[in-house]
Chains A and B, each alone.
Chain A
Amino acid sequence: MSVIETSHLTKIYDEGPVAVRAVDDVSIQITEGEFTAVVGPSGSGKTTLLNIIGGLDRPSSGSVKVADVELGDMNEDQLIKFRLENIGFVFQSYNLIPVLTAKENTEFIMLLQGVSEKERDTRVLQLLDEVGIGEQANKRPSEMSGGQQQRVAVARALASRPKFVLADEPTANLDSKSAENLLDLMLQLNKEENVTFIFSTHDQRVIDRARRVITLEDGKILSDESR
C-alpha cells in the first residue's frame, strides 16, 4: 500500500536573481514499511523534497498525496494538524526543546495530540527504553551526548504513531559509533514495528543499509534502486 505518492513534483525558488529548480518533476511512490534513503550531493534537492513530502513546504507544481490525502488542498492550520497526526520528524541537529527533559520532549507531541496522561506515561517510557535511553529520561538535552539526543528525537518522532518518519540527515552530526547505533535502532523499529523511514543523507553507512535508494541530482531523480 502506497503511503506517499508524488506526481511531477517541482519546486522553483525564484527569490534570487536566478530561478533555481530545487526539485524537478519528481514522481515517486513509497509504500508502507519502506526504509528509503534519498541521496545526492549538497544542493541536489533532498531536503526540499522531504520538506514537501512532510507538508512543511509547498511545491511550485505537481502534487503530493500522503495516505491518499492531497496535501496541496490543505491550508496551513490543516497541514500542521496533519503533520502532528501523520508524520514524525528527525532533524539533522536534533532540535529538541532545550528546556524539556528527554521524557518531556518525547511526551510533547502526544500532549499536542491530546493523549491522556496515563497513555502518555506508558508510551514515553516504552519508547525511551526502545531507543535505549530509558535511564536518561529526566535529563535535559544539554546533559546528553549528540547520539543520545538523536535517539530522543527518534522517540519523539515515533511518539505520535506516525504513518512514516522523515529524517533529514539524521547521522550528519554524529560520530561513527553513535551513527551506527542510531541506524541499528531505526532498522530495528522498521523491522519490528513496520515503521516507514525516509532519509535524506549522503552518509555512505546509511546508504549501504537502506533497502531503497533514490538518487537526486539538480532536483531530478537520477536513479531509484530497490535492494
Chain B
Amino acid sequence: MVLKLAWRNIWRNKRRTGITLAMTIFAVVLSTLMMSIKEGVYENMISSTAGDFSGYAQVHSNGYWEDKSLDLAFELTDSLEQKITNTNNVEGFMPRVDGFALAAVDNVSKGSMVIGIDVEKEKTFHGLDKRVSEGTYLTANDDAIMIGDGLASHLKLTINDTLVLLGAGYHGMSAVGKYPIKAIVKFGSPELSKQLVFMPMKAAGMFFATDQLITTIVLKTKNSNNGINAANSLTQKLNEKYEVMNWKQMNPELVTMIEADKSEGYVFMFILYMVIGFGIFGTMLMMLAERKREFGVLVAVGMKRIKLSIMVWVEILTVSILGAILGLLAAFPVCYYFFTNPIQYGEEITEMAEEYGMEAVLRASLAPHLFLEQALIIAIIASVIAIYPFIKLQRINAVKEMRS
C-alpha cells in the first residue's frame, strides 16, 4: 500500500512531477554527454599515446624502464612465453629490442629510436603494415629498415635510400650499420614520427649485438583497463627479475593530464547537479507544504510516522530515479550518435591534436560506467534530499498539521 500510495502521489500533481522529471532528464543528458565526450577524448589520447604503439602493458627486465639500457636485455624463454599467453586479458604479445642510435645521411644526422620488431606479430596485433605510406612492409629476413615519415622528411630521404645508424650496442659493443629504407611509415605523433626506425628482429640482434635477446615485450590487450588487469595478473606470476608496467606507469604525464581535466568535468557536474538538487529540493518543499494536512490525517488515523517517512522517501527517490533512467535513455542515442559520427576538429585544432599524437576527432565514449555513474549520482542526491522530509515527518504533530 505504501508503494501504491507513493506511486499515485507522484502523479497527483502531474505538472510538478513533470518539471522535476524534465530537470533531471536535462541534467542527466547534459552531464552524460559531457562525460561521454570527455571519456572519448581520454580514450583517444590513451590509445594514441599508449595503445597503438607501446601497448597498454609491457614486460622488461627489472630496472629497464628507468635506465633504458640494452645491457638489461633478456631472453624470451618458453616458460616466460607460456606465462604471458596464459594470463587473462592478454590477446598476444610482441617482443622488441629498443635502442638509440644516431641516424645520419650526408651531413645531416638525427637521434633516433631503433626498434627491432617481430614483423609478423606487429602486423597482426597492431597493423603496423597499414601505416606504410611508401614502399613495402618488412619481412623477417630483410636487412633493411622502415622509418617514420617525420624522420624521412627531416633527413630528406625516401625509399631505397640508405641510412647510416651509429650507436652503442649490448655490453659496450658498437652498433654501426648501413641500411636501405624499404618503407616509410606514418605515425600520428610527430614526436614519434621524427624518431622511429624499425628493423626486423634478426637484423636488430645483429646491429645491437643482442642476438636473440630482447628488451621489451609489448602485451596486446583489448583496451586500457584490460592492460592494467593483465599487468597486475602477470606481476603475480613473474619473479623479481622482471618488471611489468601498465600504460599508466609508463605515461604518468598523460595520467596527470587526464586527472586534471576530469577534475574540471567533476566541478561542472557538481554545479549542474547542485542546481538540480536545489530544484528537486524546492519541489519537494512545495509538496510537503501542500500535503501537510494529509500527513496530519494519516498520523491521526494510525499511520506510523516511519511508514509515512518511507512513503515520501520512496516518492522522491522514484521521481528522481525515473528522471535518471529517462535521462539515460535520452542520453544514450545522443552519445551513440557522437560515437558513430565523431565531431571533426577544424584545421588548426587538427594540427594541434596531431602534434600530440591524437586522432583529430571528438568521439563520445559508450563506456557503461559513464551511464551508471549518472544514475547513481541522482540516486544519492535524491536520497540525501529525502533525509529532510524523512526527519521532518518523524516529528510531525497531527493536530497542528490538520489545522494548517
Contacts and interface: CB of A to CB of B under 8 A. Distances in A.
A57 B296 CA distance: 12
Interface string B283-319: 0000000000110011111111101000000000000
Nearest to B303: A112
* B294, B298, B300, B304: residue with the most chain A Cβ atoms closer than 10 Å: B300
Interface in B370-404: 398-399, 402
A83 interface: yes
A152 B35 CA distance: 53
A95 B12 contact: no
Interface string A108-142: 11011100000000000000000000000000000
Given A80-B302, A83-B302, A91-B297, A98 B399 contact: no
A84 to B, nearest CB: 3
Nearest to A157: B301
Interface stretch (B1-9, B134-142, B190-198): B1-9
Interface string A54-84: 1011000000000000000000110011011
A111 B1 contact: yes
B311 to A, nearest CB: 11
Contacts, number: 57
Contacts of A84: 301-303
A51 B397 CA distance: 12
A57 B399 CA distance: 7
A99 B302 contact: no
A156 B301 contact: yes
B297 A77 contact: no
A152 B206 CA distance: 99
A15 B398 CA distance: 17
A97 interface: yes
B304 A80 contact: yes
Contacts of A112: 301-304, 307
A197 interface: no
A77 B293 CA distance: 19
Give the most central of B8, B301, B303: most A CB within 10 Å.
B301
B305 A80 contact: yes
A51 B399 contact: yes
Interface string A156-176: 100010000000000000000
B48 to A, nearest CB: 56
A111 B304 CA distance: 12
A99 B8 CA distance: 6
Contact of B5 (A54, A89, A99): A99
Nearest to B299: A80
Contact of B12 (A56, A91, A99, A108): A99
Contacts of B304: 77, 80-81, 112
A28 interface: no
A173 B306 CA distance: 32
Nearest to B296: A95
B302 A100 contact: no
Nearest to B291: A98
Contact of B300 (A77, A81, A89, A97): A89
Closest 8 A/B residue pairs (Cβ): A84-B302, A99-B8, A95-B297, A111-B1, A83-B302, A56-B399, A57-B399, A99-B12
Interface of A: 51, 54, 56-57, 76-77, 80-81, 83-85, 89, 91, 95, 97-100, 108-109, 111-113, 156, 160
8 contacts: A80-B299, A83-B301, A83-B302, A89-B301, A95-B402, A99-B9, A99-B11, A112-B303
Interface of B: 1, 5, 8-9, 11-12, 293-294, 297-305, 307, 398-399, 402
